[in-house]
């Protein structure tokens, strides 16, 4: 396998069959086009976001053209774990052109450890394009990034992923979500859209040092 092909995978409008993708996991991956965070909150007692990095870096070989770039000029990159009941459930990877981040997505800079969905799914100016799906093998760069944080994921032959483009004004944001083994057995709350929890919504005035952790018993 060439170095170039190792950096790419086949993204498709449909999630291909794989015996390792249980019916429950498939419901998580192919569920509604609303907020995954809202579904995770509904399926867990405690939810939090752990930010792994947020800095300019070169987009992946299968990302820069989606962003509308002419080359692999560094883009603002954000990576987080979405954690349910102290177990990582999702590895999320977001890229946006730096000039678009300043102009169309200014909240990114101060988002900290709050969920991205707290802005995307409450802003009527944001539009989402249909999902693309893939099965990520261990050599894929996103798997490599995940395995540096969670080495136990390295032996897994495949992890399902999806990605979608968000648009706000002329700004393009690409969000990729990698589904981890916790969701093999964590019951999916269904396929219908779940309203985004009001207590997770963020504003430009929210403090950038805020860390999100929700508990069922403290919410209404």
Q: Which residue numbers belong to the known binding site for substrate?
A: 78, 116, 177
The answer to whether the CB of 133 falls within 8 A of the CB of 160 is yes
Looking at the DSSP bridge assignments, the partners of residue 215 are 46
The answer to whether the CB of 117 falls within 8 A of the CB of 37 is yes
The answer to whether the CB of 43 falls within 8 A of the CB of 186 is yes
Known binding positions? 78, 116, 177
Q: DSSP 3-state assignment of 4?
A: helix
- What torsion do the CA atoms of 50, 52, 56, 57 make, to the nearest 10 degrees? -140
The answer to whether the CB of 26 falls within 8 A of the CB of 15 is yes
Nearest partner of 147 among 61, 218, 71, 52, judged by Cα:
52
CA gyration radius, the chain: 17
CA 206, 104, 193, 164 torsion-angle sign: negative
Q: DSSP 3-state assignment of 125?
A: coil
Whole-angstrom Cα distance, residue 186 to residue 85?
Answer: 11
């Amino acid at each position: 396998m060439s170095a170039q092909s190792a950096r790419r995978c086949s993204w498709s409008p449909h999630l291909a069959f794989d015996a390792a993708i249980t019916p429950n996991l498939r419901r998580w991956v192919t569920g509604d086009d609303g907020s995954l965070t809202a579904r995770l909150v509904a399926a867990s007692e405690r939810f939090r976001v752990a930010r792994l990095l947020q800095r300019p870096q070169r987009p992946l070989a299968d990302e820069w053209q989606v962003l509308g770039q002419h080359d692999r000029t560094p883009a603002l990159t954000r990576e987080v774990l979405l954690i349910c009941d102290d177990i990582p459930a999702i590895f999320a990877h977001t890229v946006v052109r730096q000039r678009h981040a300043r102009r169309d997505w200014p909240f990114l800079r101060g988002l900290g450890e709050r969920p991205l969905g707290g802005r995307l799914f409450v802003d009527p100016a944001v539009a989402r394009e249909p999902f693309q799906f893939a099965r990520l093998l261990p050599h894929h760069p996103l798997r490599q990034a995940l395995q540096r944080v969670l080495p136990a994921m390295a032996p897994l032959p495949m992890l399902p992923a999806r990605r979608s483009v968000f648009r706000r004004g002329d700004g393009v944001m690409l969000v990729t979500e990698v589904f981890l083994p916790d969701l093999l057995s964590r019951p999916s709350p269904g396929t219908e859209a779940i309203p985004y929890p009001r207590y997770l919504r963020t504003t430009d005035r929210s403090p950038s040092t805020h860390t999100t952790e929700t508990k069922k018993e403290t919410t209404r």
